Structure 1
Amino acid sequence: MPKTYSGSCHCGLIKFEVSADIDHLRECNCSICIRRGALNFRVPEENLTVLTPLENAVLYQWGSETAEDYFCPKCGILPFRKSSQLTKAEIEAGKAPFTGWAVNARCLSGLNISEIPIVKIDGASL
């Protein structure tokens, strides 16, 4: 059963709500995620309500420039992102595209991340 969580960056400039049944978190080892240290979970686009206009966030795109990483311009925290488009190899392997949001679980109030299983994602090999 999905639960609604309130979330924000560290300083509170970027605020959002997300409705999710968080059964696992994703830890990616790509060059940016390994530095960022976020633990993400995915939700359909309609399950994230951004309460602060996205124009208040800073958009960062790297590599293929198909992902959208939204950062707070004041405290630098990344509360959510749009995932990259699939690579040719992923499409050929039959992987289904994901068009929703990846939310940083570390930005949610009232979530005990130590109780949620972590799935390792090998983004470094993509």
Structure 2
Amino acid sequence: MFVAGFALFLLGIIFVICYPINKRKNKRCSEQVQGTLVDIRRHRNSQGNVSHSYVYSYAVQDVEYRITSTIISKEAHNVGDTCTIWYNPKKPKDAQPFHYGSNKPYTIVLIIGIAMILLGFVLFVIGSATM
């Protein structure tokens, strides 16, 4: 319980730290342009688990950009599909293949992070008391 509580606590801290960063990026990326899913990369970690990253190409004022995201666009599922890319008009290379119209998803992540911190702390205390 000690290790699980500590791990849950740390993961909750990461969620809470990511909340304002992601919320600000979503606010900054206010302009949209059509982009293309150009590559899907498979990654295998040391435990054999597979994850994917998605490479998107888009152009702003005739300048070509590419971004890599672990989140797939709702519109593009296969290489060559087009989708909306949201970018920062002051810094077009700052972009993402999704945009939330409200802060609800970020608030949910914050609440989950706080719950993980609390639960992790309780498990950590219980685990250290039984040692």
Tell me which interval the TM-score lies in, with the shorter structure as reference length: under 0.3
Q: How high is the TM-score relative to the length of structure 1?
A: 0.27
Greater RCO (Cα-Cα under 8 Å, separation 6 or more): 2
Larger radius of gyration: 2
The structure richer in helix per residue is 2
Q: TM-score, normalised by structure 2?
A: 0.26
